[in-house]
Chain A
Amino acid sequence: METVLRTSNLKRTFFNGNVTVQALKGIDLEVSEGDFVVILGPSGSGKSTLLNIIGGMDVPTDGEIIYRGRPLQNMSKHELTLYRRKAVGFIFQFYNLMPNLTAYENVSLVSEITDHPLDPLKVLEEVGLGARSDHFPSQLSGGEQQRVAIARAVAKNPDILLCDEPTGALDLETGKQVLQYLHKFNREMKRTLIVITHNAAISRMADKVIHIKDGRVAMVEHNSQPVTAEEVTW
């Protein structure tokens, strides 16, 4: 499998007045095409910082991050925008939908700015929201909103789907449902899925689990027999 993303000795230091915080102290990892990768770590471990850098929202202070041969750390603001636009689909803990756009419009918003988008309505049908496509976020439950968010990320037809605690705000059943859709995307469309979480249960579904602790990779697990979403519980 081709390597989609690779980091080496990735460091990120925050300077806050007189205080210097080293959030990442040299991260080395590799993600292959079509992988389901879970980045697992307690809060404060640096996993959010890592997600931000992988997502092209932040740049490292030192080290390398290579996306399909192109170093992200050297990219201009504009190139990073294009990277976010074309390569990455984001899913957030709190959905971050546009409150004054309907479900359908939230999805088509991204399809309007990408080159090879999927049909917004089809994607919404795939996450089981075809009938609710003209509802506004405030008219949808949390799980439904997160499914709209998944549809929005998927409709861009991105290379990587990047999820930040996607089930963090949901109850178990709804959370499992969401994971199911993410899994489907990963398996059926053969797209790379990176989930950042502190919820260890999710890691049972992954091909590869990267444990982050105190700004470093503590351990990398390969899972030869990942389970389905139905089998997960927490």
Chain B
Amino acid sequence: MTSLPADERIAGAGLLRRLLIRPELGSVVGAIAVFAFFSSQSPVFRSADGVANWLDPASTLGIMAVAIALLMIGGEFDLSAGVLTGTTGLVMVTLATKYGWNLWAAMLAGLVLALAIGFANGLLVVRTKLPSFIVTLGTFLMLQGLNLGVTKALTGTVQVSGLRRAEGYDGAQALLAGSVTVGGVDFRVAILWWIGVTALATWVLMRSRAGNWIFAVGGNEQAARAVGVPAARTKIALFMTTATAAWLVGSIMALRFTSVQANAGIGQEFIYIIAAVIGGCLLTGGYGSAIGASIGAVIFGMADKGIVFAGWDADWFKFFLGAMLLLATLANRLVRRYAEEVRR
């Protein structure tokens, strides 16, 4: 393999420039700042127990944020992703407790349903060419109604519970909702799932054909189609990916609490988008990173638990989240300007 000599014009400034246009940059700086801040406020925060504590909310959020980041890079939104975590959990618990299904079979049924909903979302967006914001807002509201209506009709209450008695619970619990002990500290096993999802998504984005297509359909769908990129297929697959992630998180949550509320997951959809945006995703698509979205989730987890560790009122959390979002979006806009500037 011959390597051509580097152009003399990219010497020196190249590294800094390359670093600056990384989509993750803002979130890395933000994460370091937030960690430093809460570490100085509370010694527990920086202890191993503390880390295990704030990595827990970061993990389930991170799995979703990574999937949403892929979708956003592909130029679409999914507002139904949050409520879908509730739907899949409800289906799984209902089938396992009320109808006596084996838990693994119930989980599989949840996956099939999630894939079907993701496919329907994608197909609607691709066929109607309506903004995905509207299409998935529609499915979001429909699922919200279904979750409540069906749960009430079947159980007479707004929750399903008793998963612990289901056949196959112990194995599934260990796999998705258990913990691993590292150096005497219990870490949730969901953290491993999160790391795995992030690694897989990063590989797909950076090192697979599909990754190239995702960037392309989000950057300029017409141009992508003109050079033979299967744009519709790519987008539908992305919606099915977020649905699969919602199923994974819904199953983790259901196994952890052994019950699911009918309103589970509602309101989370924006948190996923916020984490993805803090991680460098552009709202207009075509740019972003899976690692960035994961780091966005870490910031979220640190702030969520850090405020409690520091002994503050949890109300401050929302303020903090809003400020992070604004800062991140402003930083992203600068990056985009820089990347798109045309020198004539």
Decide whether A and B assemble into one complex. Answer: no
